[in-house]
Amino acid sequence: MNSRRNFIKKTTIAGAGISLLPGFTFGMNQSVDKLKIGMIGVGLRGTNHLNNLLLRDDVLITAICDIDPKRISLTLDALDKAGLKKPEVFGNNDFDYRNLLNLKAVDAVVISTPWLWHTRMAKDAMLAGKYTGLEVSAANTMEECWDLVNTHEQTGTHLMLLENVNYRRDIMAVLNMVKQNVFGETVHFRCGYQHDLRHVKFNDGKTAYGKGVEFGDKGISESKWRTQHSLLRNADVYPTHGIGPIAAMCNINRGNRFMSLTSNASKAVGLHDYIVKNAVENHPNAKLKFKQGDVITSTIETTNGETIIVTHDCNLPRPYSLGFRVQGTNGLWEDDGNRIYIEGKSDPHQWDTADDWLKKYDHPLWEKYGELASESGHGGMDFFVIHAFIESAKLNIAPPMDAYDAAAWSAITPLSELSIENNGEPQDFPDFTRGNWINRKSYNWIKDSY
């Protein structure tokens, strides 16, 4: 272990070495056949990842951890039914995951826990030398963003942010179009998380997405922890589904970076309105003042002169949309309306439906794995994000979305909070690469096999 650590430290100091070193064999075991995975958190999200892992023949689930015995029991049943060896089980207390991290029989971990545990678990995992897969969002505070980067640099252990939307079929086709210069020089982007989560933030304490207006101790599943963020933080607390795909398209941390951000929040009335509409009269939750503005709009400027609008819109009734727009000197794609206009190709001033364009530029990965992926969650995205994680971990090379990306994308949360609190005052992004973004090479999203 020491020699690897030392080697990696040296290349870190030398520059972008780690990220590009191919075929570096994994961890202590020079002859890994199957990658041994520890699952930290096997709630709804972790189980989804588990199901995708079970489809593969190159991994073993050697350990699981959850503080909820019901989730452990469900997971053991599933593994047993799949005819797999019983994994080691952890979850006796909040920090039992550290015992999982001490296992030699774990090469890599997948962390799918409540947000406040993400960074501390990922940090511990990297310190333990485990290739780390971390669910979104990665960090809650600026200090946590730095923790991810600094721990990666200190240990040489890789972190992959498991942002599935980067693998959405239309997103990858549009990324392909960007790389092939179909839009010309990129100028402006839009994205966000526009998802009515009222039925997720509240339930009746019995079913995850049922009726009811309870949360926290009286709620179950996500309402147990997620709603508290809406109650106390006026910030874009969930930026990565939107910003991840856009960051890939404009090479953030790889020749470009986020420079500054302004954020503005609308009033916060949606969650109160939901409680009043769905609760018995005089329910105590109807008296709560939620801090999170219903629609939070952040505008980011990049060093390359693009602007990116990021929206967080989760407390009002609305159909789901991530609201992407990709715009350049030749034309633009808009997710809403499913439309594309490319000058000289489209009829003047008329939208094309995006379908033919997306088909023409379908990503090689989707062409190859699309059918297999369709069995997976979230329209196939979940297959690809796990695939990329496993393939990167097997080679122990830098993943497509690394610690620097996790930090830069998640930094939107604390920066938006500060900006909103200060009337939209612009906030500077830290340069998590410590200047290296000018040298770091673009991840090859198109030609790499994951």
Of residues 41, 156, 270, 399, which one binds a copy of itself by CB under 8 A? 270
Minimum CB–partner distance for residue 312 and a copy of itself (Å): 11
Beta bridge partners of 427: 261
| Residue 236 binding a copy of itself, by CB under 8 A | no
Minimum CB–partner distance for residue 320 and a copy of itself (Å): 7
Nearer to a copy of itself, 24 or 320 (CB): 320
Return the residues of window 274-333 that contact a copy of itself according to CB under 8 A: 293-295, 297, 299, 301, 304-307, 309, 313, 316-320, 327-332
- Which strands sit side by side in the sheet containing 352-353, from one edge to the other? 352-353, 339-342, 331-334, 325-328, 186-194, 307-313, 295-302, 258-265, 427-428
Of residues 350, 367, 435, 447, which one binds a copy of itself by CB under 8 A? 350
User: Which residue, chain included where needed, has tokens 């489209």?
Assistant: 346
Torsion angle of the four alpha carbons 104, 105, 108, 110, in this order, in degrees rounded to the nearest 10: -120
Nearer to a copy of itself, 117 or 437 (CB): 437
Helices and strands per DSSP (H, E), number in the chain: 17, 15
Q: How far apart are CA 380 and CA 374, in angstroms?
A: 5
Which residues, 6+ apart, have CB-to-CB distance to 222 below 8 Å? 44, 200, 201, 208
Nearer to a copy of itself, 44 or 259 (CB): 259
Q: How far apart are CA 418 and CA 262, in angstroms?
A: 9
Residue type, 328: G
| Residue 154 binding a copy of itself, by CB under 8 A | no
Nearer to a copy of itself, 23 or 344 (CB): 344
Minimum CB–partner distance for residue 259 and a copy of itself (Å): 9
Nearer to a copy of itself, 154 or 303 (CB): 303
Site string for a copy of itself, 162-201 (x = CB under 8 A): ----------------------xx-xx-------x-----
Q: Are the C-beta atoms of residues 110 and 389 closer than 8 Å to each other?
A: yes
| Residue 146 binding a copy of itself, by CB under 8 A | no
Report which DSSP code applies to 440: P
Q: How far apart are CA 374 and CA 384, in angstroms?
A: 10
Nearer to a copy of itself, 49 or 257 (CB): 257
Return the residues of window 5-64 that contact a copy of itself according to CB under 8 A: none
Minimum CB–partner distance for residue 12 and a copy of itself (Å): 32
Q: Are the C-beta atoms of residues 274 and 211 closer than 8 Å to each other?
A: no
Q: How far apart are CA 207 and CA 216, in angstroms?
A: 14
Number of residues that bind a copy of itself (CB under 8 A): 50
**DSSP per-residue string spanning 257-319:** -EEEEEEEE----HHHHHHHHHS-TT-GGGG----S-SEEEEEEEETTS-EEEEEEE-SS---
| Residue 431 binding a copy of itself, by CB under 8 A | no
* Interacting residues with a copy of itself (CB under 8 A): 184-185, 187-188, 196, 260, 262, 264-267, 269-270, 273, 293-295, 297, 299, 301, 304-307, 309, 313, 316-320, 327-332, 334, 336-337, 341-343, 349-351, 423-426
